[in-house]
Amino acid sequence: MRLNRRHFLQTTGATGLLLAAAPTLALKNFPPRIDRRALIRRHNPVFTQFDPFSALSVGNGEFAFTADVTGLQTFAGECAAKFPLCTISHWAWHSTPLPAGLDPKNFRYTDFDTYGRLVGYPTDPTGQEALYNWMRENPHRFHLGQIALELEKSDGTSAVPGDLKSVRQTLDLWSSLLDSGFEFAGQPVPGPDELPPGNGFDRRAHRFTIARKWPNAGAPGVSLRLAGNEHGRLESSRMAHHHLFASGKESRRLRSQTGRD
């Protein structure tokens, strides 16, 4: 259908007069406004059991924290092989030392025709696997550390994922709030509520809140593990290990112990 200028002006003019004369009548058939908050929250991920592949992250593009179903990085060991629980930032980078005998100047690039000129790309590791892998892996994001709950069973051993019951973790996609809760030793344990950086505080920080009421056995500790070897990797065998624990069941104060794994 062809629409000339005169017909277009006549049509738009008539529509304008109708809206001015009876806006309610003209708009009554229009769909209602979209409830964007409800639309987004309809897709909130909810988890009811531990799964290494179901770790959730909160962040703002500059800082990110990945947590398991406890809301922290309590079961980092169980997740390490499939989905590492990391704390990373856009400003923290690291490179491993170049292996002896290797020189990036000796790397052989593969030439591709790019708009009439040859441009080298690092696509072929054949005969230079060690140098290729080093260049591919460096620099890389630096793992800043892990924050975990220290859940201890009545026999003194550490809890494993199977000891948690009634797990429920929800990531609110509208507010970016990660809400975690579970049952441990027969008691409900409200896990940390987490907000990513930028929600009213330092964009380079991460904040979580833990309820003060814990199971009758007492408040669990909070463990902070920081990278401690020369390559900056988060290896438990060579890591500064800080134990944070409540000085009293109803106390808000935390004490710290520092040791080595």
- Domain of 112 in residue numbering reads as 104-137
> What rounded mean pLDDT belongs to the chain?
77
Mean pLDDT lowest among 66-75, 170-179, 250-259 = 250-259
Residue 253 has pLDDT above 50, yes or no: no
Q: How many CB atoms lie within 10 A of CB 188?
A: 14
User: Would you mind telling me the total number of residues written for the chain in this entry?
Assistant: 261
Please count the other Cβ atoms lying within 10 Å of the Cβ belonging to residue 224.
17
> What total number of domains does the chain contain?
2
Please give the helix or strand (H or E) that residue 189 lies within, else none: strand 187-195
Q: Is there a single domain that holds both residue 131 and residue 232?
A: no
Residue 1 lies in a domain: no
pLDDT value at position 15? 58
Q: In this structure, is residue 25 part of a structural domain?
A: no
Query: Token digits for 30?
Result: 């229009």
Q: Are residues 230 and 246 in the same domain?
A: yes
Lowest-pLDDT range of 196-205, 223-232, 243-252: 243-252
Question: Could you tell me if residue 52 is inside a domain?
Answer: yes
Q: What is the pLDDT of residue 225?
A: 85
Q: Does 12 map to a domain?
A: no
Q: Is 74 exposed, middle or buried (0-12, 13-18, 19+ CB in 10 A)?
A: buried
| β-sheet with 146-150: strand ranges across | 146-150, 221-226, 240-246, 254-260
Check pLDDT > 50 for residue 220: yes
Place of tokens 């112990």: 257
Q: Mean pLDDT across the stretch 147-161?
A: 89
Q: Are 125 and 197 contained in the same domain?
A: no
165 and 217 both lie in a single domain: yes
- The verdict on 63 and 132 lying in the same domain is no
Residue 4 lies in a domain: no
String of DSSP letters for 32-58: PPP-HHHHHHTT--EE-S--GGG-EEE
